[in-house]
Structure 1
Amino acid sequence: MEIEENLNVAAFTGLETSVVARNKPIYLACKRMTDFVLALIGLIILSPVFLVVAFLIKWDDPKGTVFFSQDRVGKDGELFKMYKFRSMYVDAEERLAQLLKYNEVSGAMFKMKEDPRVTKIGACIRKCSIDELPQLFNVLMGNMSLVGPRPALIREVEAYTSHDKQRLLVTPGISGLWQVSGRSRLTFAQMVDLDLEYVVTRSYWMDIKILFKTVKVVCKGDGAY
């Protein structure tokens, strides 16, 4: 099944696409400039953290790589490689099918609090969301933003309804409205509703507020696993 055929944004129903996809050139230009500058500064400042985490990942599980890349679905259904610090054992993808029956989230997502595929170091960096830091490279490249709906997996999008697919009308982000509103404690439907609320109401100041709230949520480790 071709992913490009499944992600026909023009065919989305639910919210009015004329409202959802409203063109905001000044906002988008400011957002992109802020994304680039903050991502660049973040990568420079956090470079010592990258080195320490890289060492710990290899020490914990020498067989695997430090970074993990995965195909994700971005704005308007375009595929891109999303980067993370590896937090799972190398055979994690192969073991997924055996664990689907233990999924703790309804809808087109998989979440398992005590996921046996997660390494010891992986559990620690997930709790503090450190595993997400390499996505700053995605922000520099422009296929992600600091704030937006989380980029979905291909298998998740193939299970989306037309209503769910409206999440793909904007550039995905490292953080977003649902991440600062409960994270993994929310249902898939609640996550979609919050993402669509963001798509409709997004603004520069809303992005700034979400970024500040993200720092607070990450420091608390609230709802992360």
Structure 2
Amino acid sequence: MTVLKRALDVAVAGVVLLAGLPVLALAALAILLEDGRPVTYTQPRAGQGGRVFTVFKFRTMRVHDVPAHHMPQVRGGDPLVTRTGAILRRLKIDELPQVLNVLRGDMTLVGPRPTLPEQVREYDAFARRRLEARPGMTGWAQVNGGTELPWRDRILLDVWYVDHASLWLDLRILARTVGVVLRGERVRTGPLEEARLHADGAGRRG
């Protein structure tokens, strides 16, 4: 599965990068016109096994000096988020530069979202299980509620994914991601309950 997953990553990320060039260019121009430079930003994130890498994103917030690990969950209505940034976040376009991370091998198309190293240092043994997989541009948590879910529920969904990962599941998640982009994030109680039962059955290590 690892070879097939990597082949899918490279093929899809390459197509998205080439086909999405006009979108990337328009997004960069919109950010530049509204709020100036820089149009992108980089940030250290924890990858598989806790290895730190640099993630690429479009800048959606005004330049500020608040450390990322001190900020609560940022939503589109946050005063720091620009008007362009709110649109990019809603359509997930701000994450598109991460196809470069996928091509580099830092990330995969589907997996737990990468978090800050400061957050990883606070993980318990159960939460650290999400580091067993390479981080993804989208994931099981993202198509079942995403930022509408509390952090602990996202961890439950991520660990469920780690224990059930397959190419077929990845294809399902990619298909559902299209729906999230079109309709927005919605909490799906069925997968969340299944993830809770799975965690209880596994003894919730740690």
Could you tell me which runs of 5 or more consecutive residues in structure 2 were left unpaired when the two chains were aligned: 187-206
The whole-number CA distance in structure 2 between the counterparts of 1:87 and 1:190 is 25
Q: So what's the TM-score if we normalise by structure 2? A: 0.86
Shift of 1:68: 1.0
Residue 112 (structure 2) pairs with residue 115 (structure 1): no
- 1:87 pairs with one of 39, 45, 60: 60
Shift of 1:222: 2.3
Task: Give the corresponding residue for 1:36.
Answer: 10
Task: Give the corresponding residue for 2:184.
Answer: 221
- What SS does the aligned partner of 1:118 have? coil
1:126-141 map, 5 Å: 126-141=89-104
Residues 192/67 of structure 1: CA separation in 2 closer, same or farther (3 Å cut): same
Could you tell me which runs of 5 or more consecutive residues in structure 1 were left unpaired when the two chains were aligned: 1-26, 104-109
Residue 136 (structure 2) pairs with residue 173 (structure 1): yes
Task: Give the corresponding residue for 1:18.
Answer: none
Residues 150/96 of structure 1: CA separation in 2 closer, same or farther (3 Å cut): closer
1:59-208 map, 5 Å: 59-62=33-36, 64-91=37-64, 93-94=66-67, 97=70, 100=71, 103=72, 110-112=73-75, 114-208=77-171
CA deviations on 1:174-216 (whole Å, 9 max, x unpaired) are 0000100011111111100100000000000000000000011
Greater RCO between the two (CA within 8 Å, min separation 6)? Answer: 1
Aligned-residue sequence identity (percent) comes to 38
- 2:27 pairs with one of 31, 53, 67: 53
Residues 88, 118 of structure 1: 8 Å contact kept: yes
Residues 92, 117 of structure 1: 8 Å contact kept: no
Residues 140, 158 of structure 2: 8 Å contact kept: yes
Instruction: Tell me the C-alpha RMSD between the 2 structures.
Output: 1.6
Shift of 1:112: 4.7
1:10-25 map, 5 Å: none
The whole-number CA distance in structure 2 between the counterparts of 1:181 and 1:222 is 8
Tell me the number of residue pairs that the alignment of Structure 1 and Structure 2 aligns: 186
Task: Give the corresponding residue for 2:197.
Answer: none
Q: Runs of at least 4 residues of structure 1 off by over 6 A? A: none
- What SS does the aligned partner of 2:144 have? coil
The whole-number CA distance in structure 1 between the counterparts of 2:185 and 2:122 is 28
The whole-number CA distance in structure 1 between the counterparts of 2:21 and 2:76 is 29
Q: Which amino acid aligns with 2:89?
A: R
